[in-house]
Amino acid sequence: MIVDPDCIFCKIVAGTLPAFKLHEDEHTLAFMDINPISPGHCLIIPKTHFANVFDGTDAPLAAVMATTRRVAVAVRDALQPDGMNLFQANGPAAGQTVYHFHMHILPRTAGDGLLRGGHGMQAGDKAVIAGHADRIKARL
């Protein structure tokens, strides 16, 4: 297993830093975010260290997603939020602050004003969208 001795999440996995653990298995760890955006905000991490989705491989990423679903169902059933965001950030421009891949489970309340955005509010230029699609497909 790859670890970074300076990584706060690797220290939680190793047990040298405390955490409010929710679930642990061979490949993943789920715990409460101690700087929550909303009540019930939790994190799911792979036990092996990699900084972001680009550095990870399929197996640990799949394990994180399976644990994310399991914990999201438990959060839904326990806290009964109005909705829920699952998100993950890569790099400073995306808001990543801990450089150990992790998923956020963010319970939401109607009208909470969190993560507001204009997604779906204005149609994009179809030619530009088609060009982006072609460039992306060429890399797959």
Q: How many CA atoms lie within 13 A of 66 on its CB side?
A: 12
Confidence class for position 133, pLDDT limits 50, 70, 90: confident
Nearest 5°: the CA angle 108, 104, 87 is 85
| Catalytic pick among 100, 102, 119, 132 | 102
Q: What is the mean pLDDT of residues 28-40?
A: 95
Residue 134 lies in a domain: no
Q: What is the CATH number of the domain that holds 16?
A: 3.30.428.10
| Domain coverage including residue 111 | 8-115
pLDDT of residue 16: 97
Whether residue 75 is contained in a domain is answered as yes
Please check the confidence at residue 118 and state whether its pLDDT lies above 60.
no
Q: Is there a domain that residue 99 lies in?
A: yes
Residue 43: in which H helix or E strand, if any?
Answer: strand 42-46
- pLDDT in the model for residue 117: 60
The answer to whether residues 42 and 32 touch, using CB atoms and an 8 Å cutoff, is yes
The rounded distance, in Å, linking the Cα atoms of 18 and 126 is 50
User: What's the confidence (pLDDT) of residue 128?
Assistant: 85
Would the pLDDT of 76 be above 80?
yes
Is residue 119 flagged as an active site residue?
no
Global confidence as pTM: 0.89
